[in-house]
Amino acid sequence: MLAGKRIVLGVSGGIAAYKAIEVCRRLVDAGAHVIPVLTEGARHFVGATTFSALASEPVQTSLWNEVDPIPHTRLGQGADLVLVCPATARLLADLAGGRSHDLLTATLLATRAPVVVCPAMHTEMWEHPAVQDNLALLVRRGVHVVPPEEGRLAGGDVGAGRLAAPETVVAAVEAALAEPDLSGLTVLVTAGGTREPIDPVRFLGNRSSGKQGHALAAEAATRGAKVTLVTTAGLPVPAGVEVVRVDTAAQMEAAVTERAAAADVIVMAAAVADFRPAAPAVEKIKKHHGVPELRLEPTPDILAGLGAAKRPDQTLVGFAAETSDVRASAHEKLARKGADLVVANDVGAPGAGFEHDTNQVVIVRSDGLDEDVPLGGKRAVARAVFDAVLDHRVTSADRRPRDSI
């Protein structure tokens, strides 16, 4: 999504300017073309050379140079997005008031591209009515604001005003650039492997990391969906996603069942245990009591239950981890569980499946329009899954009788 996008990275003069270096690096790593613009204040906090070394073009700082008489219009008109990170109280006031006294403020006035600002300042300044009024005005004008977090501030103070984490800033940039093609849809995603207790300290688990499910939730939120993520994984919660933490298959079933009726799309990416200890011990099982006998019982099949109760306008996506006959097994699972799509991967293939940051899948569909997704990041796989979901919703709506649409 960021590949090839021209992003002007404006850095204004706050102590958090050093964190913009990490943001710059992440944007470049994601394929963006980053042009850093530092205010005079920013240069008191960070070295321009660092940005020049990491960004796609050298730092620009001045409206006045020998080469380009109008750098602000070139920057503003050429940008796909202008990001201000950190944004000081003064920068927000300048933008709200339409003042242009340096290269960054002039560029902000000379652009029609989306603008993302990341305020960072001391709590007293952040909470000042003047700052809040300026922000409210900017939001009304369509500026995207990445709110600061609570935490340690310069000088040892603690409170609201700390610059948002680099991954939050990058997610906001992606969201501002994304086509909101899932807006209006409520999406429910499950992630991670369930843990079925043997006793209070031991469990039966599996190797699922939850990374693919979290990437799916992030992708759906970025594309404008209202997303709930039911997860067993302790991974960071993607921006804008409501999270429900669970542990066992029974807890996951309860959380999913409660929310299923309201969902337009349900993606069961979790690796749910098929069996659980029938009678978990209340006390820790003692080693000196000998090798225990574990009697197992089946867990509820959440996906099959959702498939049986599915509305025609709902899209149900299952996941299948296979070690052989991937496509055929996925088609069999699709039919047996009443799903619309099954995302299947060969967990034995190099770079695919559990714990990796990459995945390689085949998406099989009830309308027969199967698709091989080449090895790529889990976010890229998530993108392909939601593209397929949208496409499937169009083809299945076309086939449904008019009165059921």
User: Minimum distance from CB of 317 to ligand C5P (Å)?
Assistant: 8
Task: Examine residue 247 and tell whether it contacts ligand C5P (CB under 6 A).
Answer: no
Number of residues that bind ligand C5P (CB under 6 A): 14
Q: Are strands 186-191 and 81-87 parallel, antiparallel or unpaired?
A: unpaired
CA 293, CA 50: separation in Å to the nearest integer? 61
User: Minimum distance from CB of 336 to ligand C5P (Å)?
Assistant: 8
Task: Examine residue 213 and tell whether it contacts ligand C5P (CB under 6 A).
Answer: no
Query: Binder to ligand C5P among 32, 87, 96, 272 (CB under 6 A)?
Result: 272
Nearer to ligand C5P, 166 or 193 (CB): 193
For the question of residue 65 being annotated catalytic, the response is: no
User: Minimum distance from CB of 116 to ligand C5P (Å)?
Assistant: 35
Helix, strand, coil fractions of the chain, as percent rounded to 5: 40, 25, 40
Rounded to whole angstroms, what are the CA distances from 235 to 40, 174, 272, 359? 38, 19, 17, 18
Nearer to ligand C5P, 299 or 345 (CB): 299
12, 91 in Cβ contact below 8 A?
A: yes
Task: Examine residue 344 and tell whether it contacts ligand C5P (CB under 6 A).
Answer: no
Residue tagged active-site, from 134, 206, 345, 359: 206
Task: Examine residue 325 and tell whether it contacts ligand C5P (CB under 6 A).
Answer: no
CA 224, CA 183: separation in Å to the nearest integer? 4
For residues 281-310, which are near ligand C5P according to CB under 6 A? 299-303
User: Minimum distance from CB of 210 to ligand C5P (Å)?
Assistant: 12
Provide CB contacts within 8 A for 217, sequence distance 6+: 187, 189, 191, 227, 229, 238, 241
CA 105, CA 90: separation in Å to the nearest integer? 10
* Amino acid of residue 122: H
Task: Examine residue 274 and tell whether it contacts ligand C5P (CB under 6 A).
Answer: yes
- Which residues have a catalytic role annotated? 206
* Binding positions for ligand C5P, rule: CB under 6 A: 249, 268, 270, 272, 274, 299-303, 318-320, 333
